[in-house]
Structure formats: C-alpha cells, structure tokens
Amino acid sequence: SAAAEEEDATEVVRLRTRRGNEIVAVYVRHARASATLLYSHGNAADLGQMYGLFVELSRRLRVNIFGTSGRRLGKLRTG
C-alpha cells in the first residue's frame, strides 16, 4: 500500500552535537530522487507538524528530504 511504502521510505534520525545537544531529523526518501533537499525550520513547529509537508515536497519535487527542527520531535505519524 502507499502508506506502507511511505513508512518504509521515512527514517527518524537522532544526531549528537559536539556540545552534547541532540538534533532530531526526518529523512524522507524518494525512489527516483536525484538530489536531497536539506530543510531546516525554526522552533515554531516540530517534526510531527512538518512531516506532511516533507512527504508532499518529496513527492512533488522527486527529491529526498532531510528535515531538522532542533531538539523537538513532536508526534510523528508515518502510517
């Protein structure tokens, strides 16, 4: 199903900075991508709120999306 493919193509990544801060990111893969778009947004929204936009951008632009939002993860629903 489309939802299952979407779930398989999404990865939540946790990165640790040199100062010990955690950065949470979402990597949305597109099967035919020739580029990856790095999308970093301010603290007004979290990844759970941005996830739908990332998926839509990936589909429409046919790119991978690596989206970050600092330390806030929020409620990320992929299915």
Give pLDDT tens digits for 48-75: 888 999 999 999 999 999 998 755 445 5
2 — pLDDT class (breaks 50, 70, 90): low
pLDDT at res. 36: 97
Please report, for residues 18, 20, 33, 35, the alpha-carbon distance to residue 76 in angstroms, rounded to integers and kept in the order given: 26, 23, 23, 24
7 — pLDDT class (breaks 50, 70, 90): very low
